[in-house]
Structures are given as C-alpha cells and as structure tokens.
Amino acid sequence: MERKQPRWRLLTGLLVATVLTVGLLPGSAVAARGAPAPDSAADRAADRVADRAAPNVVLDTTLSASSALPGYPVGNAGDGDQGTYWESTNNAFPQWIQADLGATATVDRVVLQLPAHWEARTQTLTVQGSTTGTSFATLAASRGHAFEPGAGNTVSIPFTATTARYVRVTVTANTGWPAAQVAEFEVHGPDSGDGQAPSAPADLTYTQPASGQIRLAWRASTDDVGVTGYAIYRNNALVATVSGTTLTYTDAPPASATVEYFVRARDAAGNESPDSNRVTRAGQGPAGENLAAGKPIEASSTVHSFVAANANDGNVGSYWESAAGYPSTLTVKLGANADITSVVVKLNPDPIWGPRTQNFEVLGRDQGASAFTSLLGRADHAFDPSTNQNSVTLPVNGRAADVRLRFHGNTGAPGGQVAEFQVIGTPAPNPDLTVTSTEWTPESPTETSELTLSATVRNAGSAPAGETVVNFALDGSVVGDARVAPLAAGASATVSVDAGTRAEGSYTVSSTVDPSDTVVEQDDGNNTHTAPDELVVEQAPGPDLRVLDVTPNPSNPAVGSRVTFTVAVQNRGTSTAGASVTRVSVGGTTLDTDTPAVAAGATAT
C-alpha cells in the first residue's frame, strides 16, 4: 500500500486525529485476545443517533500513536481517505492514538472509521482527554464498539463536553485482528458561533522582584470578539487564571525548583490561544546530575555522520541530526529508573547556528514497562544563540529508565537536531550490586593445593536485590559460579566456589555479580571486581621428574640397524629424587632402563 503523509485540514472547531493501521485482514481470520462482547443494539443505535444529532464542528489536530506497523503510519488516520488506515504493532495491546489540537478547546465527541468494505469487527475503546498531555481524564469509559459495513464502518462516541488539548483513544481488544486499527479519527466540539481563538500572548518575560517571587509579564492577545482571560501554566500544569485586562502574574515556587511558564489567552466561547513563548527559571538548589552522559543512545534515523552518539558525548561541537521527515526520535538508555527533574536540549551556541524553533515532546519508559508514556507534552521550543545560547531547559517531573525526545518539526533543518541531550535527576530506589573483595584459600597455594575462590557481594543500592549469581574467572576465563541469595539494601554476603588445582604460575582473579543483568540496578557498570594482587601458585615441594628429550641414534637408521635411545630426565622438584626407572615406548616395544638418583634441579642422561 502506498504511504501517504497526513494533510492537516483547517476546519473551524474540527479535530481530525490520525490512527495507524497495519493490514486489511478478514474478520474471521483471527480472534482477538480478550475480545469483549459486541455492542448491544441499544448501544449501536445510540451511537448512530449521536452521530446524526452532533453539530458539524471538527477540530484541526496533529496525530501521534503508541506504535505503527511499517506501511500503516498514523498519518493515514487523518488524511481524509477512509481507504487508508493506521495499524498498531500486533499482539501488543493496549495501543493508543492521540490528537493534539494545538490549544485547548471544548470537545464532546470522537468519530472513528475503518475502510468501508471491511468485515464487521468490535474494538474495545476508551476515550481520554488532557490539557497538558501528561495527566489524562476518562471522557468515555471502556466498552466494545461495533464497526459494521452497513453503517459505513463508522462509530461515533459522545461524551460530556469538556475542555482538552489532547484527546486519546486507547484500544485494548479487536475481534478482527490483534491490533488497533483506525482509518479516520475525528474529534468534534459544539458549535459556539465563535470559532476563532485569540492570538498567542507575546513577549512573556519574568523578573524576581523579591526573594521567593517570580513576576510574569506579557503583551496582550487579540481576538475577533474579545479576550476574557489569561491562563498561566507552570511546568505544563494550569496554576492560575487572570482577567482579560491583566497582563501580569506573580508566583512563589520554591527557590530550589526549576520552573517553566507559558500563558494562553481565552475568549468568551472557550476558545484558547496557542502557547506564548516559554520562560524558565532555573532552581538554586541541587537538581541532580546529568544521568545521560556516556549512556547508550539511539535514534530512529541519522544523516551522514551526525549519529546519535554525538548527542551525549559532552561536546556541543558535534551533533545528531535525523533524516528528513517526522516524527523522529532520540532515546537515551539510563539503565534503571531515575527521578527526573529536567531535560536539557542544546545546539551549538556558535552564532553560525542561527535561531530556529523545534517542536518536540519528551517521553519516558519505566524499567518495568515496554511502552513509552508522555513526560512532557509536545510544544515549540526556540533555540537562539543570542538569547538562550541555543540551550533549552525543560522541567520534568517523572520517573523513567529510558528518556526519548520525539521531534515533529524544525524551522532550521528538515530533521531534528541535538548537540547535547542531558537528563538531570537522581537514581530512583533500586538495588546496586557490587563485589567489594575477591580472595582465595590457601593464601600461598602450590600445584597440589585445592583452591577455593571467594567474593563478598554488597547491595549498595536503596532497594532489595533478588537472587543472582557470581562468576569467578582466572585470567579472564570463568572457572565456576556461586549462588547469591536475595540481599536487602546495604546487606552483604560472601560466596565461594571450588576451583581445583592449578599449574605453577601467576593468575589474575576476578568476580562478577549478576553477569547476565537479570537484576535491574542503579548501575550495571560496577559489578566486576578484580583482586589487586595476582594469585601465585608455587611449585609443589619434593622431587618432580620430567623428561626433557628423547634422542635416537642413529637418527635415520636403516632397516634392521641397531638403535639406541638417549633420554634426558630432569628433577625440577625441591629435593633429590631416588633411583627410578625410565621407560621408552617404540611402536609396540617398551624399553626400561634404571635411572640413578637425581638431585634437585639436576638432569640425568
């Protein structure tokens, strides 16, 4: 199927959301996991009545989704073509599709379509709304909705009118295929008669007139009817509203908190403007450390040599850039959950990097989850070497093991660009297994000594650790492993393994706890301990005879010739070896000769 890019239609009060669908498959081919009972006749009738009675007002939007099967992108759900569709990753419920209105608006219904010729199927759907993109409220509770060819494979879901910027439909089951499927996604709102939103407030600035105070000021918005108020947002949450004639607001967050503000204008019809520019006051207290430095990092795409690793190498002179097209992602893997206070995105501050605005959101994945969720909603962020040194600090309040930037636009390049991606925070409660010592007994072994290797394991983290093992290695080769029982935070345990006898020589001894990384830890890089001294195996006491050489004479005898053999026998031991016998085997013949006593270190022929 041909891929199509979404075409956003500016229809007053109309929100068209895009859904990702993967493949057209017969409704009888696969039974969905946990498939619900289909809509009742009353439910289907109510949906059709709601569709006929609802006002014809659809809000313009930008779409995103939890996942998309290749070839069935989320843009298909908002391209105006019922024949194309979005499909999520298969066999991975729940999945969601989300519409961003760009500004808050009054919404009261969503309409979903599948291709008109598809067989009937029931999808279990929940509708949620949010003003911030991080905290969602249920607008329509989960239930099965029947898509029927006789009704145009269209479902209308009404709900009580509410104000939202983000509208999300979550799919938990589908009787036709084990994935979420949507061909067209519309978000509707009531027709108020005033469909024009105010302009965005301009030139938002802040001062700190007194200790503990932040005073915001902005320039007035304009509206075709009139601005009735301004909504002030702190860290993407609404904190206050003021009248339409008030152009200032004073806040008092803790001095240690990093806070970001923006303002929206409202009119009497409930229309809300786009965001003003954003301003950030950096906190004065400890905010944590940059947890992303040097961690594994990956991107959805790259251009030339502008690879993902450039974005956390500590050098703003190198950068990552995605291939043309959106969305594109940059993901840093912290290894374990961290409590995140802010995310910093930097470009090169050199003036040659002129001003640009990038539109992106911040997502996070908990160490126990497979999917990403929103930490900070999608927004425009201005980078300007003359005003903010091409650096944007975004307050984030969340916990995640992986942090992702998802880009939707860049006025300065066809793809997302990041010179440094910093995640500021502190490790969340987790175990942290370390080996504090590696030892052996006996302390001074000989070649005949049975060796025992021991390691002391400590949980230096802030949460209990489950059962795991320790691997013991000599010169890098594993010689055995030992079980480590669960450890409480701060607890230690010593475990041992029998390593048998070893030949004379020196060995590097190391031990590694949780070598397979089965325990999620604050730090997986400190699990190996190498003993500071080498294990030295001495020669065993007493005589130790060995054959150094066997020489025939003549060296190339003729057939039938007499041959003698000379054998060099060395006593490499520490005391005299008494008389013995030396045996030479020649084919099937054995020749035994008496060997006299050999002093320590001497050789007898």
Examine the pLDDT at 478 and tell me if it is beyond 70.
yes
Least confident of 149-163, 255-269, 393-407, 424-438: 255-269
- What pLDDT is attached to residue 271? 83
Whether the Cβ atoms of residue 178 and residue 30 lie closer than 8 Å to each other? yes
pTM: 0.47
CA–CA distance from 216 to each of 281, 353, 354 (Å)?
Answer: 11, 29, 27
Q: State the pLDDT confidence band at 25, using cuts at 50, 70 and 90.
A: very low
5 band by pLDDT with thresholds 50, 70 and 90 = very low
For the chain, percent of residues with pLDDT exceeding 90: 67
Rounded Cα distance between 79 and 4, Å, is 8
Q: Can you name the residues that pair with 124 across neighbouring β-strands?
A: 144, 173
DSSP state of 446: B
pLDDT in tens, 483-534: 999 999 899 999 999 999 999 999 999 999 999 988 988 888 899 999 999 9
String of DSSP letters for 519-531: S--S-GGG-EEE-
What are the structure tokens assigned to 383, written together? 């980078």
- The pLDDT of residue 1: 33
Whole-angstrom Cα distance, residue 143 to residue 94?
14
Higher pLDDT, 365 or 37: 365
> Beta-carbon neighbour count of residue 605 at 10 Å?
10
Highest mean pLDDT among 39-43, 267-271, 476-480, 587-591: 476-480
What is the distance between the alpha carbons of residues 74 and 5, in angstroms, rounded to a whole number? 9
Show the tokens assigned to 45: 């009738």
* Average pLDDT taken over every residue of the chain: 87
The answer, yes or no, to whether residue 144 has pLDDT greater than 90, is yes
Q: Please, are residues 573 and 544 in contact by the beta-carbon 8 Å criterion? A: yes
Q: What is the pLDDT of residues 306-355, one digit of tens each?
A: 999 999 999 999 999 999 989 999 999 999 999 998 999 999 999 999 99
* pLDDT above 70 (res 72): yes
Looking at the predicted structure, is the pLDDT value of residue 194 above 80?
Answer: no
Per-residue pLDDT, 196: 84
Q: What is the mean pLDDT of residues 32-46?
A: 43
Query: Do 462 and 489 touch, CB atoms closer than 8 A?
Result: yes
Report the alpha-carbon distance of residue 410 to residue 421 in Å, rounded. Answer: 16
pLDDT digits (tens, 9 = 90+) for 531-584: 999 999 998 888 889 899 999 999 899 998 899 999 999 988 888 989 999 999
Predicted local distance difference test score (pLDDT) of residue 134: 80
Amino acid at 472: F
Please report the DSSP string for 419-435 in residue order. Answer: SEEEEEEEEPS---EEE
Q: Indicate the pairing of strand 202-207 with strand 184-188.
A: unpaired
With CA atoms as reference, report the closest residue to 110 among 239, 203, 16, 208.
16
Does 362 have pLDDT greater than 60?
Answer: yes
Q: Which pLDDT band holds residue 192 (cuts at 50, 70, 90)?
A: low
Burial of 437 (0-12, 13-18, 19+ CB in 10 A): middle
Q: What is the pLDDT of residue 216?
A: 96
Distance CA 554, CA 403 (A): 79
pLDDT of residue 2: 32
How distant, in Å, are the alpha carbons of 53, 391, 492, 510 from that of 513?
A: 66, 40, 12, 10
Cα distance from N-terminal residue to C-terminal residue, the chain = 87
**Is residue 161 within 8 Å of residue 110, measured between CB atoms?**
no
Identify the burial level of 109 via C-beta atoms within 10 angstroms of its C-beta, where 0-12 means exposed, 13-18 middle and 19 or more buried.
Answer: buried
